[in-house]
Chain A
Amino acid sequence: MDWRRFSFIGLIIVILFGVVVLIGGEQVSPLIIISSMLATTITVATPLTLGALSGIFCERAGVVNIGIEGMMLAAAFFGWLASIYMNTIFEFNAAISLTVGVVMAIVSGGIFALLHAWLSIAFKVDQIIGGTVINILAVGITGFLNRQLFFEKGSIFGGNVPHAPGLLPSLSKSLTFLCGGEQGCFGLPDLISGSVFDQKPVAISAIVLVAVSHYVLFNTRWGLRTRAVGEHPKAADTVGINVNRMRYINVVIGGMFAGLAGAYFTLESVPSFEPLMTNGRGFISLAAMIFGNWTPFGAWAAALVFGASQALQINLQFFRESIPPNWAFLQQSYVVGLAPYILTMLILTGIIGKTTPPAADGQPYEK
């Protein structure tokens, strides 16, 4: 990550925050707006961050994964299903049900990734086609099971959508507890620690996983081998690294990241499942991965930009009335909603500097 890219990211975030401060600043203090924007940004960037990490592990090992969207969707469904099963059929309490749900989401992400790995490594299927197959399969399976299990008479839940066991709890209490005392954290005013750090488990683990992934990829033997397999598989093979085994494991790890991102949708964000609810987040995370030049911290920064543009849309809803007439287009949520997608396309054109994918990205390895 060069300085140009980081300053571009900083600039975009400042602009997006600035728009909201300009519009709502007279009603609410700018400090509150900024901390609320920051909190929303971190929250909505969660699936993008995890999706980008998923892509990084797959592509650093040399497997293009465009199926992240489908893996997220499947994980969102199966995690949600598991938590409801635990809660209504086996009558466990909410905490256990939700935990099982998260585990199930991670596992199902891993299983879909295993299918992708199998297609692209064993059968050498064109990896973009293979990923598209995963996406279509996920839409089909989740749509079918959703209808079959919840909306058909005589199905296990009797045609009613059962009561969800709620959502994962916020961790702000335990964080405040960690730095000793009810009031404030790290000497910051309660306002900031109370809202910015008011995050839930998946969001927090996404940030932790960014650091962990960076360490694993660039400071461990495993990471070196992963990168070797993605850059020059033949050389890696010569020194005794099992190329295909490394690829299998890394793709499955990537799928588990996507699975955790899926858990965000149905267990942390809203307590329900809708067909197609991932809404392109898996694809945007690929753009974040590319813009971050296949590095965890770079991808996280890019994910925050997309998060900020979504936070703009969410926060503008509060201040709809005070949008000046010559900025009336900002009242249309459809117009503001375009921001992340247009940003993705701009970034991919490479106007902010070229990025370099791993050299063997997308190529099956043949001895």
Chain B
Amino acid sequence: MQSAEEKQAPQGWKRIGRAIMDAALVPVLAIFSAIIVGGVVIAVVGGNPFAAYLGLIQGAYGSTKAWSETFVWATPYIFAGLAVALAFKGGLFNIGAEGQLAFGAVATAWVGYALPGMLGVELPAILHIPLAIGAGMLAGFLWAAIPGALRAYAGGSEVINTIMMNYIALNITSFLLNGPMKDNNPLNVIARTPEIAEGARIPVIFDGLRVHWGFPLALIVAFLVWYLLWKTTFGFEIRTVGANPDAAKYAGINYKRVIVLTMALSGLLAGLAGAVEVTGLNYRHELGFSIGYGYDAIAIALLGRTHPLGVVLASILFAGMRNGATRMQFLTQIPVDIISVIQALILLFVAADAIVRYIYRIKAKEDRLVLTRGWGG
């Protein structure tokens, strides 16, 4: 039956719709399976899974305010998810989004609070916001270029190097936020920077809601990443190096340069996540804020099948879970940490799509996602 359908290939919108259906089938079933297993876990620890999930959905998507908060959560997720997805497209596994994000946030915060004082003038928002965000992007770009270069020129596995650089970034930001960059307000005991200037803050979209213009920016950046990957020569090079580095080499692509740039661009996107959180939401960087984003970003990139549109949708789902979890805990006393278990299960079912295909008896397709390849010898 399936082959009969394939013989008359559908055209235009129908074809796109079919492609989306095909791509979304496994992730949707993975989410479904994870929700069921998560419900069993909730029941085992003595909770009511239906009440818990109802609270979760209400808290995530039940009102205008809930949607606003979900979009606030989704903003850094989209940037960081795109970062990991872009690296995957180039055959690189960036586990370092967390460190890149932290460095981006530190650099943005510094430009945000210290630059006006150093220049002796109050900068207008039209200048100060781009400068602050640009600093965050640059910090992420440079920080991620290091593991990229080590991979391209010294053969060091980017998997372990990006993890090590997370710990290095954590130590350096701890040092900065406890020392030179610490908020010296006498009442402050937390490791955090001073507040950034008014002019460096991204405004909110609607009065009274926290969702800010960073969210539309994230959607635009998702489109730009899609455009880069599928409509430019460089994007083609990234995908070729990712799919088959030997073929890329013989086709005359400077694959070492592509590896470094892919990693650096991935870091730039992660840095952007930190930059937008600082300028749009927190107005400062605080130690510990960035912890956990790296793993969430990997889960989002995989759930979104490393496609920008998928990343946006997966981000809104994960953001909804994080946001709704508070209401769930309030209503049912199930700790918010259950969300991490459900997300890990989603990731498990997405990564092992063979399990999902086996459970739901779906025929395997040929185009398996190629993601990483070993230690690189």
Residues of A whose CB lies within 8 Å of any CB of B are 64, 66, 119, 123-126, 128-130, 132-133, 135-137, 139-141, 143-144, 146-148, 151-154, 276, 279-280, 283-284, 286-287, 290, 332, 334-335, 337-338, 341-342, 344-345, 348-351, 356-357, 361-363
Cβ-defined contact, B340 with A140, below 8 A: yes
Taken residue by residue from 126 to 157, chain B's Cβ proximity to chain A (1 for < 8 Å, 0 otherwise) reads as: 00000000000000000000000010001111
Residues from chain A with Cβ under 8 Å of B40 in the complex: none
Q: How long is the Cα–Cα vector from A212 to B274 in the complex, in angstroms?
A: 48
Cβ-defined contact, B348 with A356, below 8 A: no
Q: Given A280-B164, A334-B172, 11 more contacts at CB 8 Å?
A: A128-B372, A133-B347, A133-B352, A280-B166, A287-B164, A334-B171, A338-B172, A345-B164, A349-B156, A362-B373, A363-B374
Instruction: Return B301 CB to nearest CB of chain A, in Å.
Output: 11
Residues from chain A with Cβ under 8 Å of B93 in the complex: 128
Among A147, A276, A344, A349, which residue has its beta carbon within 8 angstroms of that of B154? A349
Q: How long is the Cα–Cα vector from A72 to B373 in the complex, in angstroms?
A: 24
Cβ-defined contact, B348 with A335, below 8 A: no
Cβ-defined contact, A361 with B374, below 8 A: yes
Among A126, A137, A144, which residue has its beta carbon within 8 angstroms of that of B337? A144
Cβ-defined contact, B375 with A290, below 8 A: yes
- Taking chain B's interface residues, is the majority helix, strand, or loop, or is none over half, making it mixed? helix
Cβ-defined contact, A350 with B154, below 8 A: yes
Cβ-defined contact, A344 with B164, below 8 A: yes
Q: How long is the Cα–Cα vector from A286 to B159 in the complex, in angstroms?
A: 11
Residues from chain B with Cβ under 8 Å of A140 in the complex: 337, 340-341, 343-344
- For residue B351, CB closer than 8 A to chain A, the reply is yes
Taken residue by residue from 161 to 181, chain B's Cβ proximity to chain A (1 for < 8 Å, 0 otherwise) reads as: 101111110011011001100
Q: How long is the Cα–Cα vector from A133 to B30 in the complex, in angstroms?
A: 14
- For residue B120, CB closer than 8 A to chain A, the reply is no
Q: Would you list which residues of chain B between 334 and 355 have a CB under 8 Å from chain A? A: 334-335, 337-338, 340-341, 343-345, 347-348, 351-352, 354-355
With A141-B344, A349-B156, A362-B375 as contacts: A129 and B302 at CB distance below 8 Å: yes
From B296, which residue of chain A is reached at the shortest CB distance? A136
With A132-B95, A344-B160, A348-B150 as contacts: A64 and B168 at CB distance below 8 Å: no
Cβ-defined contact, A152 with B333, below 8 A: yes
Instruction: Return B259 CB to nearest CB of chain A, in Å.
Output: 15
Q: How long is the Cα–Cα vector from A357 to B375 in the complex, in angstroms?
A: 8
- Taking chain A's interface residues, is the majority helix, strand, or loop, or is none over half, making it mixed? helix
Q: How long is the Cα–Cα vector from A30 to B287 in the complex, in angstroms?
A: 38
From B161, which residue of chain A is reached at the shortest CB distance? A345
5 interchain residue pairs of minimum CB distance: A140-B340, A144-B337, A334-B175, A123-B354, A349-B154
With A126-B371, A137-B348, A139-B295 as contacts: A286 and B160 at CB distance below 8 Å: yes
Instruction: Return A125 CB to nearest CB of chain B, in Å.
Output: 5
Cβ-defined contact, B295 with A136, below 8 A: yes
From B340, which residue of chain A is reached at the shortest CB distance? A140
Among A125, A154, A363, which residue has its beta carbon within 8 angstroms of that of B351? A125
- For residue B377, CB closer than 8 A to chain A, the reply is yes
Cβ-defined contact, A144 with B374, below 8 A: no
Instruction: Return A358 CB to nearest CB of chain B, in Å.
Output: 10
Residues from chain A with Cβ under 8 Å of B348 in the complex: 119, 133, 137
Cβ-defined contact, B377 with A144, below 8 A: no
Q: How long is the Cα–Cα vector from A254 to B371 in the complex, in angstroms?
A: 25
Instruction: Return A314 CB to nearest CB of chain B, in Å.
Output: 15
From A275, which residue of chain B is reached at the shortest CB distance? B337
Among A125, A128, A349, which residue has its beta carbon within 8 angstroms of that of B352? A125
Of A141, A153, A335, A351, chain B has the most CB atoms within 10 Å of the CB of A141
Residues from chain A with Cβ under 8 Å of B344 in the complex: 133, 136-137, 139-141
Q: How long is the Cα–Cα vector from A119 to B85 in the complex, in angstroms?
A: 22
Cβ-defined contact, A130 with B375, below 8 A: no
Cβ-defined contact, B171 with A130, below 8 A: no
Residues from chain B with Cβ under 8 Å of A64 in the complex: 374-375
Q: How long is the Cα–Cα vector from A361 to B295 in the complex, in angstroms?
A: 24
Among B95, B164, B351, which residue has its beta carbon within 8 angstroms of that of A126? B351
From A346, which residue of chain B is reached at the shortest CB distance? B156
Cβ-defined contact, B150 with A280, below 8 A: no
Q: How long is the Cα–Cα vector from A362 to B45 in the complex, in angstroms?
A: 37
Residues from chain B with Cβ under 8 Å of A284 in the complex: 164
Q: How long is the Cα–Cα vector from A361 to B171 in the complex, in angstroms?
A: 33
Of B155, B174, B295, B374, chain A has the most CB atoms within 10 Å of the CB of B374
Among A276, A332, A357, which residue has its beta carbon within 8 angstroms of that of B377? A357
Residues from chain A with Cβ under 8 Å of B328 in the complex: none
Residues from chain A with Cβ under 8 Å of B179 in the complex: 332
Cβ-defined contact, B174 with A334, below 8 A: yes
- For residue B102, CB closer than 8 A to chain A, the reply is no
Cβ-defined contact, B163 with A283, below 8 A: yes
Cβ-defined contact, A350 with B156, below 8 A: yes
Cβ-defined contact, A144 with B335, below 8 A: yes
Q: How long is the Cα–Cα vector from A356 to B374 in the complex, in angstroms?
A: 12
Cβ-defined contact, A345 with B374, below 8 A: no
Residues from chain A with Cβ under 8 Å of B291 in the complex: 276
Residues from chain B with Cβ under 8 Å of A361 in the complex: 374-375
Cβ-defined contact, B156 with A125, below 8 A: no
Among B335, B372, B374, B377, which residue has its beta carbon within 8 angstroms of that of A129? B372
Of A140, A147, A349, chain B has the most CB atoms within 10 Å of the CB of A140
Q: How long is the Cα–Cα vector from A152 to B354 in the complex, in angstroms?
A: 37
Cβ-defined contact, B160 with A283, below 8 A: yes
Q: How long is the Cα–Cα vector from A153 to B46 in the complex, in angstroms?
A: 12
Cβ-defined contact, B156 with A345, below 8 A: yes
Q: How long is the Cα–Cα vector from A143 to B341 in the complex, in angstroms?
A: 9
Cβ-defined contact, A341 with B150, below 8 A: no
Residues from chain A with Cβ under 8 Å of B101 in the complex: none
Cβ-defined contact, A143 with B340, below 8 A: yes
